[in-house]
Amino acid sequence: MSKSFQINSANPQGFRFEQLQNPLDAIGKYTHSLFTLNGLTVLSLLGAYILMRVFFGDSNKKKIATSYWGGGKETATAQKKAILQIANPQCDSAALYIGKHQEKGGGVTFYIPDVQRGTAVIGAPGSGKTFSAINPMIYSAIDQEFPCIVYDFKYPSQAKVAAYAKYKGYDVHIFAPGFPESEVCNPLDFLRDSSDAES
């Protein structure tokens, strides 16, 4: 007979509730803290939560909305809408693109319709968000002659964008305190009279 079998056979009672409370026992060292005042409070709150979920909660009926990943149909619809918005630009209906707009053999063009609502580019630091999405959308806005304000967190990394805008006929102003090419921005210059200061 093995030694462990002899120990188990010598203890005819098997499992005892006291083992859970004894921190020196093999099981109790993991469960003894549940029988303190804090542990019993946590257990009772957990039990109350489970009971409320069972009796009162049906999470499937309380969904605000559902969604799914867009497929080819949604992509084609977005492309058609974006091309219409680019052809007929309005202040409340604008579209941008990544790639070459309406060029044969220019590669795949990714259209972003309704950018006036807002656009987010999400990714880890250094993953290429600026190079692959933000700069092409800025170039697209410049090509469509939209007025642009570009905030460059790591000035002068967007110098190529400023040069491209200048080449396309934009009046480019740079506000970069501490750099010699910086211009001055005084908010008080926007006040026409004393009534503008009141609000």
Per-residue pLDDT of 123-182, as tens digits, reads: 998 899 999 999 999 999 999 999 998 887 778 888 899 999 999 999 998 888 888 888
**99 and 180 within one domain:** yes
Hey, what are 162's tokens? 């400023």
Structural domain includes residue 82: no
Looking at the structure, tell me whether residues 99 and 35 fall in a common domain.
Answer: no
In this predicted structure, the answer to whether residue 64 has a pLDDT above a threshold of 80 is no
Domains of the chain: total? 2
Amino acid at 49: Y
Residue the block writes with tokens 């040069």: 163
> If pLDDT is split at 50, 70 and 90, which confidence band does 92 have?
confident
Q: Which of 136, 133, 132 is nearest to 144 (CA)?
A: 136
Residue 48 within any structural domain of the chain = yes
Q: Which of helix, strand or coil describes residue 139? A: helix
**Mean of pLDDT over the chain:** 83
**73 part of a folded domain:** no
5 vs 23: CA distance, rounded Å: 24
Over 80: is that where the pLDDT of 196 sits? Answer: no
pLDDT of 84 > 70? The answer is: yes
DSSP category for residue 100: -
Most confident stretch, 4-13, 38-47, 147-156, 179-188: 38-47
pTM, two decimals, is 0.59
Distance separating alpha carbons of residues 181 and 164, to the nearest angstrom: 17
The answer to whether position 30 is within a domain reads yes
Using alpha carbons, select from 30, 107, 116 the residue that is nearest to residue 81. 116
- What is the number of alpha carbons within 13 Å of residue 104 lying toward its C-beta? 0
**Whose CA is closest to 89, among 118, 113, 71?**
113
The domain of 55 spans 3-62
Position with higher pLDDT, 119 vs 157: 119
Model confidence at 70: pLDDT above 60: yes
* Structure tokens that stand for 119 in this block: 């656009």
Give the model's pLDDT for residue 4. Answer: 42
Q: What is the DSSP letter of 26?
A: T
E strand intervals along 95-172: 96-98, 110-112
pLDDT at 76: 92
